[in-house]
Chains A and B, each alone.
Chain A
Amino acid sequence: NAGVTQTPKFQVLKTGQSMTLQCAQDMNHEYMSWYRQDPGMGLRLIHYSVGAGITDQGEVPNGYNVSRSTTEDFPLRLLSAAPSQTSVYFCASSRAGGAGSYNEQFFGPGTRLTVL
């Protein structure tokens, strides 16, 4: 199993450009999430999905779009990049838990994005 894969590993954008960060998992996990990591702030949830065709907003969704057409893929789109979106982005997946129980998340290696 490759686990959770993310592409690209590094990206530099100019303000106003758009791009898509790719995320794929081969573990047949129901849940997938996108986080951004900024110094001193831990990881903050951008968007998440509990299954194909179902997405919802997390803590910091503004400026980002997601879709989930398959179980495996969960791309993150930046519609018009801004310097405030300079960050490291992590994708994660996990199995659905039972009532009141949550399973561990498996993380990808991250994408380091710089917006000039």
Chain B
Amino acid sequence: AQSVTQLDSHVSVSEGTPVLLRCNYSSSYSPSLFWYVQHPNKGLQLLLKYTSAATLVKGINGFEAEFKKSETSFHLTKPSAHMSDAAEYFCVVILSGGYQKVTFGTGTKLQVIP
């Protein structure tokens, strides 16, 4: 069985400070991992993806994530938060072996304080 856990439902940071959004997964196989962002009343947009190449993945808008197999984690970071980063972020796991095994985390809402 696979699952994905986003450890924080809400994160609040000040503008200009670092962002850390945490994601842990459980899987018996090598997963494909994604982070998506959803701005209010919008669809989802891909931030970045990991598919067994480099463990440090760079995405759009200055975000990056590091795949740590020993910790089964794929945390999302950004050095300096911007007001436009306020949104909901989803960690997604897809197992090899079946397209239907797409699992979304429950989401983390990021608030950026001016």
Contact = CB atoms under 8 A, between A and B. Distances in A.
Most chain A CB atoms below 10 A, which of B43, B51, B94, B107: B43
A108 interface: yes
Interface stretch (B13-21, B67-75, B76-84, B96-104): B96-104
Interface stretch (A12-20, A40-48, A79-87): A40-48
B99 A40 contact: no
Nearest to A33: B102
| Size class of the contact patch on chain B | 20 to 34
A40 B8 CA distance: 11
Contacts of B55: none
Interface residues of A, number: 27
Interface string B4-24: 000001000000000000000
A31 interface: yes
A101 interface: yes
Interface in A13-54: 31, 33, 35, 40-45, 48, 50
Interface of A: 4, 31, 33, 35, 40-45, 48, 50, 56-58, 90, 92, 99-102, 104-105, 107-110
